[in-house]
Chains A and B, each alone.
Chain A
Amino acid sequence: MGNITDEQVCDLQKKANDIRQSILEMLIEAGSGHTAGPLGMADIFTYLYFHALKHDPKNPSWEQRDRLVLSNGHICPVLYATMAHSGYFPIEDLKTLRKFGSKLQGHPHREFLPALETSSGPLGSGLSQSVGMALAIRIDEGKTSNKFVYCLTGDGELDEGQNWEAVMLAAKEKLHNLIMIIDRNNIQIDGFTEDIMPLKKLSEKFESFNWHVIEIDGHNFEAIDDAISQAKTVFDMPSVIIAHTIPGKGVDFMERRFEWHGNPPGKGPEDVYKKDEQATEALKRLRTLGGKITCNDHE
């Protein structure tokens, strides 16, 4: 079990809400980009960057850092916002998302933002790269290395066959230092994952490939903390955390809607709010709902 305190949970919830606000603001400014996935993954990114990762935002190339690989590059607004909030670059830079010359390319490119571990966008290759990193660490530090590689993927991207090539290799090589986190939000661009290409019981799939499987509510910080702690204790097997999340989490009219997968506020479906109202309403709803912070305010 993890050992996170109530106070830490409350701080993380508030941080996640700030990050959601930045995600909305940067997407509104950019006028294009993905909304549902970034909002849905805000809690997990917040937990990783503010609690789990060994990293130093002032020294991004610190050799002893853990590696975080974002495979589904299109949810980069949450990566950029979390990195900015944790001090990798100024928060005001988030407004440059998707603009010419920006370090914040539409899909992550480490030539523009060297603090990134990888460039990504084309789906299905992040896990392979993470396997390569975990293998390199094992060659250098052996089977007891405490340096972890976190690979974040979508669920829709598991349609890509390359993932399963990497899944097999990670199990064969018994990569204890690899922790995959799947954003199980059940949507992809064309619709619900189970309509487009059913993934069914992901846990059984991974178990049959000899992975250690943990399933959690991806918005519950205690559950995230328990899962990461558990994954780190597993020896001789890679771990996968299947994080069930609500796409669009924090903005009620976006939640669970695949129509918000690839659209920013102002370009989404108009059944609740017209396009010209979406930006204002999204930010207002987020604040009103408080990002659904559950802890007592201890200010």
Chain B
Amino acid sequence: MLNDKQKLNPNIFLEDVEQEAIRLGFGEGLLQAGEKDERVVGLCADLTESTKMDKFAKKFPERFIEIGVAEQNLASVASGMAAMGKIPFISSYAMFSPGRNWEQIRTTICYNDVPVKIAGSHAGVSVGPDGGTHQAIEDIAITRVIPNMVVISPCDALEAKKATLACIQTKEPTYIRLAREKTPVMTTEDTPFEIGKASIFYQPEGQSDVGIIATGALLHKALLAAKDLEEKKVKVTVMNLATIKPLDDSAIIELAKSTKAIVTVEEHQIAGGMGSAVAECLAKNYPVPQEFVGVKDLFGQSGTPNELIGHYGMDKSHIIEAVHKVILRKK
């Protein structure tokens, strides 16, 4: 059952659960961040409407810089502004920022250790028809590997709004991963959010057989899987891992101790992604069998989001399959 403490959306399991694009939450959060703190500036590489920076740009034209199609410049100009005391948010598609401008992010933002906040929209294969060039499924890997960087992958629009607002309070360079398509709103305004903190969204009564750790919008599919499994007497706890770095080690270790089997779920390459981060933590602290739901060393392609999630093995049925598989591996 849903964890009461998280004050989640009661409609979460309904067919007609409210849907909103995660990027919209970023846009709303940035607008509020701009209202709260005049150090906040916005920079965009010719995707202002698409990355939802447009609200901020309209409200604060004097604090908005249109960079043009130049993601490398985007990152380093933001670094210069941060060095002067600003809190710059930069936005583009994740494939181009942090994709194309990775070295500028590494050197001019993270090595300099300045508080630039990087919003990467259109992450994951669910971008859909645009095809593989525009589907960032490597971005978690390339950001979490950089020292000083914080990596957040919100599960819905409300969490994206909270993450955006939270990161104006922190000094670290931060990557916020956003998605294009409408996805279920699982949280409410009252759901607690703290950078670096994992939360249990679903827990059965009594002992769990498996812990699912999910990040991003696929968390919803993990919750649906857990509910289905519970009806078949397989008990699953579901964790929302919104912050991938710094990792909430103690929460993950605790989940592994109580379930003795883990399934990770992410719309990202298995190599180097959130599941890898979890595996790094558990291999060192409390090794248990782990199955990975994610993209298996492939590029994306055109299709509807649902077709692609299915094709690349990240649907509810694949999560259920992974749960059964990991149970068989338990000692």
Contact = CB atoms under 8 A, between A and B. Distances in A.
B77 A129 contact: yes
Contact of A132 (B62, B70, B72, B77): B77
A236 B249 CA distance: 53
B112 A118 contact: yes
B contacts with A: majority SS:
helix
A121 B67 contact: no
B79 interface: yes
B65 A129 contact: no
Nearest to A132: B80
Interface in B216-257: none
Question: At the interface, is chain A mostly helix, strand, loop or mixed?
Answer: helix
Contacts of B81: 132-133, 135-136
B274 interface: no
A136 B84 contact: yes
Given A165-B70, A169-B68, A129 B79 contact: yes
B78 interface: yes
Contact of B62 (A129, A131, A139, A166): A139
A119 to B, nearest CB: 5
Interface stretch (B102-110, B135-143, B161-169): B102-110
Given A132-B77, A165-B70, A125 B84 contact: no
B73 A119 contact: no
B77 A110 contact: no
B83 interface: yes
A95 interface: no
A121 B80 contact: no
A52 to B, nearest CB: 20
Interface residues of B, number: 29
B80 A136 contact: yes
A109 B75 CA distance: 18
A133 B68 contact: no
Contacts of B103: 122
A37 B95 CA distance: 37
A135 B84 CA distance: 9
Contact of B107 (A69, A121, A137): A121
A117 interface: yes
Given A139-B41, A165-B70, A128 B108 contact: yes
Contact of B68 (A110, A118, A129, A168): A168
B77 A135 contact: yes
B148 to A, nearest CB: 10
A166 B41 contact: no
A132 B68 contact: no
B68 A166 contact: no
Interface of A: 67, 69, 109-111, 117-122, 124-125, 128-137, 139-140, 161-162, 165-166, 168-169, 173
Given A133-B81, A162-B76, A168-B68, 12 more contacts: A119-B108, A128-B72, A129-B108, A132-B82, A132-B84, A132-B88, A133-B83, A136-B83, A136-B84, A139-B62, A162-B70, A165-B70
- Closest A-B pairs by Cβ, 3 of them: A132-B80, A128-B76, A136-B84
